[in-house]
Amino acid sequence: MSEAKATALIIGGGIAGMEAARAAVRKGHKVILFEASEQLGGQFIAAAYPPHKGELITYIAWLSRELKRLGVDIRLGCPLTAENVQSENPDAVIDATGWLPITPSLPGMTHALVCNAQDVLLGNADCGKNVMIVGGGEVGAETAAHLAYQGKNVTLIEMTDTIAGDMRVGPIRKELLRLLREQNVTSMTLCKAVAILEHGLIVETTQGKKQLAADTVVMAIGYSRNTQLSSTLEGCRAIVSVGGAMRTANALAASQEGFWAGYSLT
């Protein structure tokens, strides 16, 4: 490997950040990877929990080994700040901080029965027997399958007329829908959550409003761009945003964006 050409700071140890670090160090750059949590992988860890997706965790394990083998300076439990950037004096900063779950502004969101899908998949939320999942896209549907396999009674609440409509039509989506049917997951389409109650929620359907009982209400309505760090570091260095920091993206897109961001450094 040639002598380091430049110092690159990678912010975020998810798939995009790990791939950016791998590409940059292979080009001969000195790379420092900052991750606020105590492990690499980001949201992709949660994505490996739904049925038949456990093998995805091997990708994270392989990337982790590669980064260590290539000599990337990995700093876990270390959120990056503007002060860090100034002290390291990097030539480039790649923001791969991932995305944040959207928290809707519904009445009753502070009730104890409310949690988000990511916490459910990571085992950070304890769900009761009867679970309502608000959001029937890919994340909501996979979370529903995950909980149904645990013996929960699961209902999906989806505003559109299609479950997992944000997934590409193909065998993976077909298999997910089959699992939901097999596990007797109830799907309520053209249905909108309007308020959370202490022991359930109120939804609005084409037939009017209904009150549904639930032990747990899981929010899975999507993710938003994480701009917290970019706004904090504005003016420090030229910042390249990739993966979830730039837009909500699936793992393949985040991986590709991260790799090319790291590879494009000169």
Report how many domains make up the chain.
2
Contact call for residues 11 and 51 (beta carbons, < 8 A)? no
Can you tell me the mean pLDDT for 137-154?
94
Q: Do residues 17 and 65 both lie within one domain?
A: yes
CATH number at residue 169: 3.50.50.60
pLDDT at 248 over 50: no
Q: What does each C-alpha distance from 222 to 19, 134, 140 come to in angstroms?
A: 24, 10, 9
Q: Do residues 120 and 78 both lie within one domain?
A: no
* pLDDT tier for residue 1 given thresholds of 50, 70 and 90: very low
Per-residue pLDDT tens over the stretch 146-191: 999 999 999 999 999 999 998 877 888 899 999 999 999 999 999 9
Contact call for residues 124 and 39 (beta carbons, < 8 A)? no
The token pair at 119 is 């916490």
* Domain span at 113: 103-219
Better-scored residue on pLDDT, 194 or 1: 194
Can you tell me the mean pLDDT for 223-237?
63
Q: Do residues 229 and 149 both lie within one domain?
A: no
CATH number at residue 28: 3.40.50.720
First to last CA, the chain: 15
Q: Do residues 117 and 131 both lie within one domain?
A: yes
Among 11-20, 123-132, 144-153, 225-234, the minimum mean pLDDT is found in 225-234
Domain-located, residue 1: no
Number of helices (H) and strands (E) in the chain: give both, helices first: 9, 15
What DSSP character marks residue 230? H
Q: Do residues 78 and 29 both lie within one domain?
A: yes
* pLDDT tier for residue 238 given thresholds of 50, 70 and 90: low
Domain-located, residue 2: no
The amino acid sitting at 52 is H
Query: What pLDDT score was predicted for residue 243?
Result: 59
